[in-house]
Chain A
Amino acid sequence: DGGITQSPKYLFRKEGQNVTLSCEQNLNHDAMYWYRQDPGQGLRLIYYSQIVNDFQKGDIAEGYSVSREKKESFPLTVTSAQKNPTAFYLCASSMDRVGHQPQHFGDGTRLSIL
């Protein structure tokens, strides 16, 4: 079955530590996205990539970094510079241009601070 796989499902970060969230898709989609969701809130865009080796900052990119070396993979690193990282992180992909096609989502990674 085609889809998006996020791992791990739960992740704990210590102070001063960088952690990386994995996102893999086998839908052959060009565009991929990372969102952050806080309790009772909508989704806020962290980074997006419309093509391999290219990515753009979203509304809340500070303290995060990404790479897009392969079409299938779009990992997100939460750096120690992100002072309030506790949230639910969602990865998504779409066939092409942002907003013109439905986005397909993974089941998220819940990140907490130890």
Chain B
Amino acid sequence: SQQGEEDPQALSIQEGENATMNCSYKTSINNLQWYRQNSGRGLVHLILIRSNEREKHSGRLRVTLDTSKKSSSLLITASRAADTASYFCAFLNQAGTALIFGKGTTLSVSS
């Protein structure tokens, strides 16, 4: 299967703590993207990291990419209740025709 896999499936933390979620994939990639989905809503693009980049930051988000291990991680620092959502990684399929999404990590941040 080309599907990416996020780990863990679910994560519960307290406000102010950091949250780390991981994504593994099996194919060669051009880039990898992370998205957030609030309950009952559409996905929102967070960050895109290209295959020649190792780390990228956006506000409280830090994404790393290790192409040798075929894995990426998303770190959310100083989490807030508003960060409660599902987080998905996505990458291009081998045919180059579509994005493949993982099943997501569900993050719950309690105050």
A binds B: yes
Inter-chain contacts of A56 with B (CB < 8 A): 97
Complex CA distance for A110 and B42, rounded to whole angstroms: 11
B48 CB to closest chain A CB (Å) equals 6
Is the CB of B62 closer than 8 A to any CB of chain A? no
Contacts of A48 on B, CB cut-off 8 Å? 97-98
| Residues of chain B in range 69-111 having any CB-CB distance to chain A below 8 Å | 88, 91-93, 96-99, 101-104
Complex-state Cα separation, A48 to B97, whole angstroms: 9
Smallest CB gap from B95: residue in A: A98
Report which of B3, B31, B98, B103 forms a contact with A58, defined as CB distance below 8 A: B98
Does B59 interact with chain A (Cβ within 8 Å)? no
A102 near B45 with CB under 8 A, answer yes
Taking the nearest CB of chain B, how far is it from the CB of A57, in angstroms? 10
Query: B96 contacts A99, CB within 8 Å?
Result: yes
CB neighbours of A106 from chain B (8 A): 42
Contact assessment for B45 and A99 in the assembled complex, using a CB-CB cutoff below 8 Å: no
- Binding-face segment, A35-43, A63-71, A72-80: A35-43
